[in-house]
């Protein structure tokens, strides 16, 4: 007979996983796999499962696979909303996760974060089917049509992207007017050539930001060149930006007086390359970002750019939809009110203007 402590321990593990929403992002394993995961014998795991079936914690579906019993789901109130985001380290993704977690906590909603590696990841398909609602942060390639159809038939919201044309409610963090606010800052300082730096793997949002810069330059009658070195998927774009800026500084041509980066890592890598080569950012060259990530405001120099919006109102609207039986109401594309623009030390007057001002004093 299995030791009671081991038998109870396996039951506790399964109950805890249900309550934390683990089985929203993966299926409940069978007895043999449970035995391996919990370090007990097959017979101990089997007895624990049998007891959980009797207590109506678990049930078996028509195929014999284990599932959460509806009775236990009602009493335990396991996580029912899932946040799915790409599986790579990013302070930006962490910041968005905190915003969504805080919104769920305010509503008293149990939320389960999960990661995915590609659009055909099993977790993506299964989670969307099981969860009451899913918030997904997209990565590189566009969502395949077959998956868009699957998302539309469930309650899925895209965060940090615009997939409204595919019929999906979407929260886009920065409107065109917001991004132009960053570019206007350079112009107001007196910069007429503003190059764009991109080291992020190309995706629809990055393409949009580059296009906004190109249109703005043409409309203003300014000058600018795109420096594009996309990092491979699931790698750090900071290093790619560093190498690109280092090559520019060490090249035969003079670098532009101002650079705007599509993302914060591109600005960070560029600033580091300048520092190591004696180029003073904020004096010799101005560098800003279309969006900031923590802790960009505390860098030396602090980086100018758009701060991430709070999203409280936008996320509340999503959670309202998740718990309702009604279809999505209103525009599919949600854009928050203009985020705060942070003026850091990384942007300054062009050198020629500073020289003119100093000579006149």
**Beta carbons of 133 and 158 less than 8 angstroms apart:** no
Distance CA 162, CA 138 (A): 10
pLDDT digits (tens, 9 = 90+) for 63-78: 888 887 877 766 666 6
Cis peptide upstream of residue 301 (ω within 30 degrees of 0): yes
The answer to whether the 4-75 and 79-171+310-334 domains have the same CATH topology is: no
Q: Nearest-CA neighbor of 143 among 120, 159, 126, 122? A: 120
Instruction: Give per-residue burial for 43-60: e unless 16+ CB within 10 Å, then b.
Output: ebbbbbbeebeeeebbee
Give the list of residues 6+ apart from residue 170 with CB closer than 8 angstroms, or none: 157, 158, 159, 161, 162, 163, 164, 332, 333, 334
Distance CA 53, CA 46 (A): 11
- Residue 356 pLDDT more than 60? no
- Residue 211 pLDDT more than 70? yes
Percent of the chain with pLDDT over 90: 59
**Beta carbons of 57 and 69 less than 8 angstroms apart:** yes
Instruction: Give per-residue burial for 219-248: e unless 16+ CB within 10 Å, then b.
Output: eeebebeebbbbbeeeebbbebbbebbbeb
pLDDT digits (tens, 9 = 90+) for 2-48: 455 787 888 888 888 877 777 766 778 889 988 888 889 989 989 98
pLDDT at residue 128 in the model: 87
pLDDT at residue 227 in the model: 98
pLDDT at residue 74 in the model: 66
**Beta carbons of 131 and 80 less than 8 angstroms apart:** yes
CATH number of 79-171+310-334: 3.40.50.2300
- Residue 183 pLDDT more than 90? yes
**The CATH classification of domain 176-303+344-360, taken from the options 3.40.50.2300, 3.60.110.10, 3.30.930.10, 3.30.920.30:** 3.40.50.2300
pLDDT digits (tens, 9 = 90+) for 240-279: 999 999 999 999 888 999 999 999 999 999 999 999 999 9
Question: Most confidently modeled of 122-136, 214-228, 333-347?
Answer: 214-228
Average pLDDT over residues 178-204: 96
Instruction: Select the more confidently predicted residue: 222 or 91.
Output: 222
- Most distant CA pair in the chain, distance: 93
pLDDT at residue 357 in the model: 46
Average pLDDT over residues 139-163: 91
Distance CA 7, CA 48 (A): 6
Average pLDDT over residues 84-90: 87
pLDDT at residue 123 in the model: 78
pLDDT at residue 18 in the model: 78
- Residue 80 pLDDT more than 90? no
Structural domain boundaries in the chain: 4-75, 79-171+310-334, 176-303+344-360
- Residue 1 pLDDT more than 50? no
Percent of the chain with pLDDT over 70: 93
pLDDT at residue 4 in the model: 56
pLDDT at residue 352 in the model: 58
CATH architecture observed for domain 4-75: Orthogonal Bundle (1.10)
pLDDT digits (tens, 9 = 90+) for 284-342: 999 999 999 988 999 999 999 999 999 999 999 999 999 899 999 999 999 988 778 99
């Amino acid at each position: 007979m299995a030791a009671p402590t081991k038998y109870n321990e396996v039951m506790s593990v399964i109950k805890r996983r249900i309550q934390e929403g683990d089985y929203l992002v993966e299926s409940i394993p069978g007895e043999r796999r449970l035995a391996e995961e919990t370090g007990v014998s097959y017979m101990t795991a089997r007895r624990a499962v049998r007891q959980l079936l009797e207590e109506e914690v678990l049930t078996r579906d028509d195929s014999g696979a284990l599932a959460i019993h509806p009775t236990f789901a009602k009493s335990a109130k396991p996580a029912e909303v899932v946040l799915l985001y790409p599986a790579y380290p990013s302070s930006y993704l962490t910041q968005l996760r905190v915003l969504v977690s805080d919104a769920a906590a305010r509503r008293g909603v149990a939320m389960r974060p999960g990661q995915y590696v590609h659009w055909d990841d099993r977790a993506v398909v299964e989670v969307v089917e099981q969860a009451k609602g899913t918030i997904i942060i997209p990565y590189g390639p566009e969502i395949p049509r077959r998956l868009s159809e699957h998302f539309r038939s469930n309650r899925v919201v895209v965060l940090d992207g615009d997939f409204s044309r595919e019929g999906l409610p979407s929260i886009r963090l920065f409107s065109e007017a917001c991004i132009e606010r960053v570019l206007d800052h350079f112009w107001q300082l007196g910069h007429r050539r503003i190059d764009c730096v991109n080291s992020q793997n190309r995706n629809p949002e990055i393409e949009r930001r580059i296009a906004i810069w190109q249109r703005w330059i043409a409309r203003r009658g300014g000058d600018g060149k795109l420096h594009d070195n996309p990092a491979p998927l699931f790698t750090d774009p900071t290093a790619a930006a560093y190498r690109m800026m280092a090559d520019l500084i060490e090249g035969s041509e003079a670098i532009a007086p101002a650079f705007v980066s599509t993302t914060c890592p591109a600005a960070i890598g560029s600033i580091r390359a300048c520092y190591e080569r004696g180029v003073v950012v904020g004096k010799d060259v101005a560098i800003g970002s279309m969006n900031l990530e923590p802790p960009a405001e505390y860098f030396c120099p602090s980086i100018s750019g758009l701060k991430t919006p709070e999203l409280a109102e936008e996320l509340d609207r999503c959670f309202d939809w998740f718990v309702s039986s009604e279809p999505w109401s209103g525009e599919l594309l949600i854009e928050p009110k203009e985020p705060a623009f942070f003026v850091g030390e990384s942007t300054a007057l062009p050198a020629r203007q500073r020289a003119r001002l100093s000579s006149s004093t």
